[in-house]
Amino acid sequence: MSDEILIHTGLFSPPLVAGRISDKMMQTVLIVGAGLAGAVYARVLAEYGLKVHVIDQRDHIAGNCYDYLDATGVRVHKYGPHLFHTSNQRVVEWLSRFTDWIPYQHKVVARMDGGQEVPLPVNRATVNAVFGTDLKTSADVMAFLKGKTEHRAQIRTAEDHLYAHIGPTLTNFFFRPYTRKMWGTDLQDMDAAVVRRLQIRMDDEDRYFPGDTFQALPKDGYTALFQRLFDHPEITVETGKPFERKMLADHDYCFSSMPIDAFYDYQLGELPYRSIRFHTSRVARAQAPRHVTINYTDDGPFTRETWWHNLPGHCREEGQDVPVTVEEPCDYKDNGMERYYPVKTHDGRYDKLYDRYKMMADAEQNLSFIGRCGTYQYLDMHQVVNQSLTGAGKWLSLHMSNAA
State how far the Cα of 320 lies from the Cα of 338, in Å rounded to an integer.
33
User: Burial, 44: exposed, middle or buried (Cβ in 10 Å; 0-12, 13-18, 19+)?
Assistant: buried
State how far the Cα of 376 lies from the Cα of 332, in Å rounded to an integer.
14
Q: Are the C-beta atoms of residues 87 and 212 closer than 8 Å to each other?
A: yes
- Position 39 contacts ligand UDP (CB under 6 A): no
Nearer to ligand UDP, 72 or 126 (CB): 126
In sequence order, the 6+-apart residues with CB closer than 8 A to the CB of 266 are: none
Residue of minimal Cβ distance to ligand UDP: 178
Q: Are the C-beta atoms of residues 148 and 154 closer than 8 Å to each other?
A: no
Q: Are the C-beta atoms of residues 38 and 373 closer than 8 Å to each other?
A: no
Nearer to ligand UDP, 110 or 373 (CB): 110
Among the listed ranges 61-69, 148-156, 193-201, 315-323, the one in contact with ligand UDP (CB under 6 A) is 193-201
Q: Are the C-beta atoms of residues 297 and 173 closer than 8 Å to each other?
A: yes
Measured between alpha carbons, how far is residue 296 from residues 113, 135, 179, 275, 322 in Å?
9, 25, 11, 18, 20
Nearer to ligand UDP, 175 or 273 (CB): 175
Q: How far is the CB of 327 from ligand UDP (least distance, A)?
A: 8
Give the one residue of 42, 194, 373, 400 binding ligand UDP; rule: CB under 6 A: 194
Q: How far is the CB of 164 from ligand UDP (least distance, A)?
A: 16
Give the one residue of 195, 237, 271, 379 binding ligand UDP; rule: CB under 6 A: 195
What is the x/- site pattern for ligand UDP, positions 84-123, by CB under 6 A?
Answer: --------------------------x---------x---
Q: What part of residues 288-317 is at the interface with ligand UDP (CB under 6 A)?
A: 295
Q: How far is the CB of 122 from ligand UDP (least distance, A)?
A: 9
Q: How far is the CB of 378 from ligand UDP (least distance, A)?
A: 7
Q: What part of residues 133-192 is at the interface with ligand UDP (CB under 6 A)?
A: 174-175, 178-179, 182
Q: What part of residues 199-258 is at the interface with ligand UDP (CB under 6 A)?
A: none
Binding site for ligand UDP (CB under 6 A): 110, 120, 174-175, 178-179, 182, 194-195, 197-198, 295
